[in-house]
Structure 1
Amino acid sequence: MDIQKLQTLSQSVRDNRTFELFVVSIIIVSALLIGAKTYSIPEPWMMLLNVLDVSITVIFLVEILIRFVATADKKRFFHNGWNLFDTIVVVVSLMPIENSETAVIGRLIRIFRVLRMVSVIPELRTLLNSLLRALPQLGYVLLLMFIIYYIYAAIGTTLFENINPTLWGDISISMLTLFRVMTFEDWTDVMYETMAHHPLSWIYYLTFIFLTTFAFLNMVIGIVVNVLEDEHAKERAEQEAADGKVSLDQLAAEIRELKQMLQAQQNNRN
């Protein structure tokens, strides 16, 4: 089998829906295996799990080799960040480090194999790419949120330090307390404690919750949703362009066939 046929075969396997579902199922089994190893398991079963772990790693290695062979430009295979991530995780997982000083690192690398679900499923890649694209816009929102946090933490330390130093002793502790308030973790207990000394302190909490939980978090969600819609629109445009190119290629092929038929008929007449 020559290289071109091997590449064509690898492309057909890579693009096969059944193969994709098989890889996803192996990733799920790998995730369950990681969870199973956190329990106290008898030694015979642990040996079986280790054999299963090695088998899963070998399957991942074969899957990466198929994707590598299916790539037309081999030099650009590792230009894709997900291909590089998958390769590093699988190669490190193959190293026999269970009884070495780096055994903890090896186990951690195996945990990251679950992230291969993102590299395999296109919808998850789209979602993650949207989150990464939204980071520059989210940065300004988070900066403004931090400023609000800092101001309210300074006010809280100034007003409530004598009431409960554990919650309002300094600005860093006050920021942790405000995070508790923002996540609604028994925040009313904190408010009622200060209201016993400052009856109008409820204004402090309600304005903070409105600015952070209702305003800023909704802004974050809105930015992510907008970027996600743009990403989907970009994918649809690329798909439509690809479909249009295929249609043009088919039309060109049909025209060539008609020309050949007409030329053949003309030759027969002559």
Structure 2
Amino acid sequence: AFWRLICDTFRKIVDSKYFGRGIMTAILVNTLSMGIEYHEQPEELTNALEISNIVFTSLFALEMLLKLLVYGPFGYIKNPYNIFDGVIVVISVWEIVGQQGGGLSVLRTFRLMRVLKLVRFLPALQRQLVVLMKTMDNVATFCMLLMLFIFIFSILGMHLFGCKFASERDGDTLPDRKNFDSLLWAIVTVFQILTQEDWNKVLYNGMASTSSWAALYFIALMTFGNYVLFNLLVAILVEGFQAEGDATKSESEPDFFSPSVDGDGDRKKRLALVALGEHAELRKS
């Protein structure tokens, strides 16, 4: 009975809105503390940040222990957000213990994952992430199409401009950084053109090394790659968000033809009003 009383008390604490707000505040403060760190900072600031890291890690570990105590191990892992929080806590504790031993400094980068804990407190952001996850199959198909497109234009660029993007310096022939001499560099160059980063320089080099007709290659690459494919990605995402919005709207709108309790009540009210109206007309007649 005493243990049940303790569990009920902890459950009230964990399920209270103040507990969630406190954890959210701790996440925000921890995010700000990670943002003020910089290279060659004073030793006092470094020590203060290390102490704050231990404090926040202990706080998140306490949250994990309370939820394990209240919900149990199986109830805890039923929520994906709890699994994510638990993994972050384990990595953070491991990082602190390893730091005391003089190693595992690479785990410090996992502190940034704590920022994602805010997702559980932001329902709007949760919906956006759910929509993105639902469109992953279409995005994966788009990525395969994009890779095939880049591969085709890379092979075509190797045949058109292979070993032609070069300049002579002191009698030595030096290849340009943006070239089509190998498949790897051709893929890098095509990707750079798709991002519109100095793509006009690659265009001028191609025209100067071959002929003016080389502009057709870059025009086709920019037209179909940048303006068609990337707009297709935007269309996929917009369609996903629109479908989610339509589904949410249809769920929120009342269905007057469904046999719901409210619908039955409304029909009864309308029938009663009609009956009263007919009764009043009969009395007048």
User: Which blocks of at least 5 consecutive residues in structure 2 are unaligned?
Assistant: 166-174, 255-259, 263-285
Among the aligned pairs, what percent are the same residue? 23
Task: Give the corresponding residue for 2:202.
Answer: 190
- 5+ residue gaps, structure 1: 242-246, 250-270
Contact 1:24 1:120 in 2 (8 A): yes
Conserved? CA contact 1:133–1:227, under 8 Å: yes
- 1:109-153, CA deviations, whole angstroms, 9 ceiling, x for partnerless residues? 222222222333222222222222211111222211211111111
1:199 aligns with 2:212: yes
Alignment of 1:21-170 (within 5 A): 21-65=21-65, 75-95=74-94, 96-100=97-101, 102-164=103-165, 165-166=175-176, 167-170=179-182
8 Å CA contact 1:145–1:216 kept in 2: the answer is: yes
The separation in 1 between residues aligned to 2:82 and 2:245, in whole angstroms, is: 22
- State how 1:244-259 maps to structure 2 within 5 Å: none
1:7-51 per-residue CA deviation (whole Å, 9 max, x = no partner) reads: 24432x2xx2x6545433432332332333342222222222111
CA deviation after TM superposition for structure 1 residue 176, in Å: 0.6
The one-letter amino acid of 2:242's match is E
CA distance in 1, matches of 2:7, 2:21: 26
Higher relative contact order (CA 8 A, sep 6+): 1
Q: Following TM superposition, by how much is the alpha carbon of 1:232 offset from its aligned partner in structure 2, in angstroms?
A: 4.6
Name the structure 2 match of 1:179: 191
CA distance in 2, matches of 1:5, 1:239: 36
TM-score, reference length from structure 1: 0.76
Higher helix share: 1
CA RMSD of aligned residues (A): 3.2
Give the alignment's TM-score, normalised by structure 2: 0.72
Distance in 2, Cα, partners of 1:81 & 1:102: 30
Which residue identity lines up with residue 78 of structure 1 in the other structure?
Answer: I
Residues 10 and 67, structure 1, Cα contact 8 Å, conserved in 2: yes
Q: Is the 8 A contact 1:194 1:201 kept in 2?
A: yes
CA distance in 1, matches of 2:226, 2:207: 21
Alignment match, 2:238:
225
The structure with the largest alpha-carbon Rg is 2
